A and B are shown apart, each in its own frame.
Chain A
């Protein structure tokens, strides 16, 4: 990886006909390896979260110090503290949109939790939470504008971030709208319906811009069909829709379901963005769990395609090129939506184009990303006990006795999974895949005795049976085996989709992540030795890094505050 320097964006932007030079992102630049800016969910399309920046490195990381803190305040109230005797922060322009009344907007709670990516483009940060978006000066943390969406309601579990195309931003709302803003002013350009709110969809993902497409997933815990849609970034028109399950007679995969109705309502929502391969034009992402999630009888005995799978969708056509199911016929609500990582690396003596995923079910997979050919299956949560082994194609073989039981079945992972939404990372230097993991057990009780089962997530009761705690786990991609793992002292169960700590690796031979005790930590990446830390109370998103004016910033979200660290001069 070569640092592409500090200058290139400026002349590039000057050539464009679209709005002013500042706050303008050429979509082609997202395909470049991660360096000075952070223009998309994972920083670049690979999902590696491997930055080529080296200013902060192993030799000087102990001199990392706070540059600024910026606090966000969600909701329709004032966006900054009122000016008191001491002055205080100036008022921030607030732009209000949305189709609700405003009564349901919250000030704190999950709308004030930063649990997604923060974009950095041309010296500005763009951060979002459910119903809220902000622009922040990346040099000093000063808020520039605040956009508030008046919500109709829906599941406000979190917002994973925004996407950018030229001068425009895109984010999803819990009540299922795609909203486009002018990045410079925060003014709304348009909003479009992603899915039918009354069918209990809720939208948390970060959209992904690829060329002339805005790729949008959504979530649903009931039984509604699960679309991935491509929107036109200019007009907001839908270009294509791909569903995770068969929707009509003749659709491929239908034979893996009891009948068309079961397939159509079979779930598979794509609520974490995927990664993109510019060479093959394949958008590779993980699909969610099938529904009914637990009482699976009405789904038939089959594999329930294409739920709980890695799928490759061509961004030009919206057609699936290949799939690989990581949990055939899942019965524990273990989505396989975790961020896939794309890398080109040696594998058994050959340079291969790989895709890797550590899945909520406790297993790790390496595939050829051009063909979907299976290469490696490993197990990164030693406690996982729901599978009898793996078959010839590397799929875990589900043990139906571990689905649930009236008298209780002891199962690991818990519903929250061996990992969850928190982005993993990969360092091409160490050849290691880094993921936050947990070894925990639950008793799963069957509560629905009607053989026709339940809808959605119903039909079972889960009760905690104990945890060994959480780990920073490094996996050798050649073998799928755990290279090392660091047990976090004093850690309990981390608890699901509202918490979590993604990982960042850098060419400075560092790895950054938050630990479950609220420490933001820099580690040496070959063995996991801690080199630097700061106690922030609670770390809630994934570390990022960017470079402005020759200075490398390391950024982390801690609930309602962003912390930026730099080297002490």
Chain B
């Protein structure tokens, strides 16, 4: 059960399109509240450090050659961290059976460890975290690795036509203090940011101009558009929907984010990192 909950927790955290919220059916709220939230598998309570240390000594001496000193597989033996049996084990009760009896027909011999020793070895193996999303892991170093001076130059060349460091972006780094969130926010304001997404930016609305065959024009905020209808909210707050047939009526969409979109194909990753290094200075 621990593992099931942990897996669901993983699903709850990844962007929904990845494994897509398969969390739904079996979740029943477990994903949000399970003990393993934030990690691929449930967290174990921390073991006695002395036991882990004793286990490490035993493991590296007797087991590490085959299973690897870090238990992730070695010369012949499998990776124990992803072993079903190990994942299900709590304090050595499952591991112990295999260790004491060996696996006849394979290269796994029988060992004469005591129960206490097996418990120590289990504590050592269980001290590894097997998921990539453990929140208790050391946070990655700062994502701010770029050259702020180069970023400022890039800003002048590509962004200054619409934005200003002393105008709309004044204090942006104070309003969005997490650099990763800031980077996402300038890349695509209001974008679907995943975890820790930027606060909803105050975006200018997308507007649309519909010109009928008669020449009559309608303008307003774009409500919805597909290939067959376009809907706008006009200046009086009225919803107006027009059928579309190919390029008639003429429909012109004005999306303030088009400039951001157009830049996507041109950035190098260095441009992005430089610009973020500059943006974090706009406190």
A residues engaging B (CB < 8 A)? 104-106, 109-111, 130, 151, 153-157, 174, 196, 198-200, 202, 221-223, 259, 261-262, 264-265, 292, 294-295, 298, 333, 383, 385, 401, 405-410, 412, 414-416, 441, 443, 445-449, 452-468, 488-491, 493, 495-498, 515, 517-519, 521, 529-530, 533, 535
Contacts and interface: CB of A to CB of B under 8 A. Distances in A.
B275 to A, nearest CB: 11
Interface in B110-149: 130-133, 137-138, 140-141, 143-146
A262 B73 CA distance: 9
Chain B CB within 10 Å, residue with most, of A264, A448, A465? A465
B148 to A, nearest CB: 13
Contacts of B133: 447, 454, 458
A496 B130 CA distance: 26
A155 B22 contact: yes
B145 A298 contact: no
B202 interface: no
Contact of B18 (A156, A333, A465): A333
A452 B188 contact: no
Contacts of A405: 269
Contact of A414 (B17, B78, B180, B272): B17
B191 A464 contact: yes
A490 B79 CA distance: 48
Interface string B10-25: 1100111111111011
Contacts of A259: 73
Chain B interface bracket (under 10, 10 to 19, 20 to 34, 35 or more): 35 or more
B191 A466 contact: yes
B18 to A, nearest CB: 5
B108 interface: no
Contacts of A262: 73
Interface string B244-276: 101000000000010011001101010011001
A151 B227 contact: no
Interface of B: 3-4, 7, 10-11, 14-22, 24-26, 28, 40, 70, 72-73, 77-79, 81-82, 84, 88, 130-133, 137-138, 140-141, 143-146, 180, 183-184, 187-188, 191-195, 197, 224-228, 230, 244, 246, 257, 260-261, 264-265, 267, 269, 272-273, 276
A202 B19 CA distance: 11
B222 to A, nearest CB: 8
A406 B140 contact: yes
B226 A407 contact: no
A268 to B, nearest CB: 16
A545 B160 CA distance: 55
Nearest to B130: A455
Contacts of B18: 333, 415-416, 457, 462, 496
Given A455-B132, A463-B194, A416 B17 contact: yes
Nearest to A411: B269
A153 B4 contact: yes
Q: Determine chain A's interface SS by DSSP, over half rule.
A: loop
Contact of B73 (A261, A462, A495, A533): A261
B138 A449 contact: yes
Given A464-B15, A464-B194, A465-B264, A200 B7 contact: yes
A457 B14 contact: yes
A265 B82 contact: yes
Given A407-B145, A443-B184, A447-B140, 11 more contacts: A130-B25, A153-B26, A199-B84, A200-B7, A261-B79, A408-B273, A415-B17, A462-B194, A488-B227, A518-B226, A519-B226
A497 B133 CA distance: 22
A501 B228 CA distance: 17
A427 B203 CA distance: 44
Contacts of A110: 22, 24-25
B203 to A, nearest CB: 13
Contacts of A490: 224-226
A151 B25 CA distance: 10
A195 to B, nearest CB: 12
Contacts of B140: 406, 445-447, 449
Contacts of B3: 198
Contacts of A515: 226-227
B272 A455 contact: no
A134 B26 CA distance: 22
A157 B22 contact: yes
A414 B180 CA distance: 18
A26 B201 CA distance: 60
B19 A157 contact: yes
10 contacts: A106-B24, A151-B25, A445-B180, A447-B140, A455-B132, A457-B19, A464-B15, A490-B225, A491-B226, A529-B246
